[in-house]
């Protein structure tokens, strides 16, 4: 994982409005892409159940791919909510649909656009630049190579491609053995070239 520090966001009041909901999604995605973090919400207007872990994960997954995993929400008796976002092992998380809301005049505006990758810098969320994307790709490649390096020391190991699947691999000298290689295009369909364009 990266040496990025954990990020913190304080929200005094979380309401039901579309703009705040979309900014909330952007913050979670940016934290997952940049070292992880914690969101502290002092008070929630309306139903607090929409901030339970599964509800937050569902909201975020409606806007990004791959899915952000490991979001944990704690609802406290004083009315506050604390949401922990781990640094993702499957970053970069890419926006898959526009986040649209109405401004004060009722005109539609976009909080984020399809194809963007968000990162966190200080207290701000912003679209990733080429350097941010290259760093994320390097980290992902490094994790894959580290996993393979550890696994290759064992004569029989499982190459884990997703959370629920693994391919049993046995090292062999036999030229007729079927080579096994992960489909990185399927796991990470976005490249630095397509994201920067």
d(CA 16, CA 9): 18
The reply to whether 120 and 26 lie within a common domain is yes
Whole-prediction pTM: 0.73
Mean pLDDT of the chain: 82
More confident residue, 17 or 163: 17
Tally the residues of the chain.
197
The reply to whether 124 and 139 lie within a common domain is no
User: Which of 71, 97, 128 delimits the end of a domain?
Assistant: 128
The reply to whether 35 and 59 lie within a common domain is yes
Average pLDDT over residues 111-139: 92
Determine, yes or no, domain membership for 2.
Answer: no
Per-residue pLDDT reduced to its tens digit, 126-149? 999 999 998 888 887 887 778 777
Percent of the chain with pLDDT over 90: 50
Range with the poorest average pLDDT among 46-50, 54-58, 150-154, 162-166: 162-166
User: Which of 128, 156, 188 delimits the end of a domain?
Assistant: 128
The reply to whether 49 and 101 lie within a common domain is yes
Determine, yes or no, domain membership for 19.
Answer: yes
Determine, yes or no, domain membership for 140.
Answer: yes
The reply to whether 117 and 166 lie within a common domain is no
Is the pLDDT reported for residue 186 higher than 60? no
- Domain of 109 in residue numbering reads as 7-128
Residue 11 CB neighbours (<10 A): 19
Closest by CA to 119, choosing from 146, 95, 145, 141, is 95
The reply to whether 100 and 172 lie within a common domain is no
pLDDT of residue 197: 57
Determine, yes or no, domain membership for 17.
Answer: yes
The reply to whether 80 and 161 lie within a common domain is no
Contact between 169 and 180 (Cβ < 8 Å): yes
The reply to whether 36 and 121 lie within a common domain is yes
Determine, yes or no, domain membership for 1.
Answer: no
- Per the structure, the count of domains in the chain is 2
- What residues contact 153, with CB distance under 8 A and at least 6 apart? none
The reply to whether 107 and 122 lie within a common domain is yes
Determine, yes or no, domain membership for 92.
Answer: yes
User: Which of 96, 128, 160 delimits the end of a domain?
Assistant: 128
CATH number of the CATH domain containing 77: 3.30.950
The reply to whether 118 and 179 lie within a common domain is no
d(CA 68, CA 120): 15
The reply to whether 180 and 149 lie within a common domain is yes
d(CA 68, CA 85): 9
Residue 57 CB neighbours (<10 A): 18
């Amino acid at each position: 994982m990266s040496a990025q520090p954990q990020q913190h966001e304080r929200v005094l009041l979380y309401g039901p409005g579309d703009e705040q909901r979309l900014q909330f999604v952007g913050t979670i995605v940016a934290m997952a892409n940049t070292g992880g973090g914690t969101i502290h919400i002092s008070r929630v207007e309306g139903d607090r159940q929409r901030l339970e872990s599964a509800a937050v994960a569902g909201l975020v997954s409606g806007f990004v791919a791959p899915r952000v995993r490991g979001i944990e929400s704690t609802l406290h008796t004083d009315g506050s909510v604390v949401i922990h976002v781990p640094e993702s092992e499957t970053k970069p998380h890419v926006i898959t649909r526009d986040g649209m809301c109405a401004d004060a005049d009722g005109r539609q505006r976009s909080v984020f656009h399809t194809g963007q990758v968000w990162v966190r810098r200080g207290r701000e969320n912003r679209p990733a630049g080429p350097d941010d994307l290259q760093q994320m790709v390097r980290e992902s490649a490094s994790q894959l190579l580290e996993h393979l390096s550890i696994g290759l020391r064992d004569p029989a190991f499982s190459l884990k491609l997703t959370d629920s699947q693994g391919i049993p691999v046995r090292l062999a000298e036999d030229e007729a053995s079927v080579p096994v290689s992960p489909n990185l295009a399927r796991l990470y369909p976005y490249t630095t070239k397509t994201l920067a364009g």
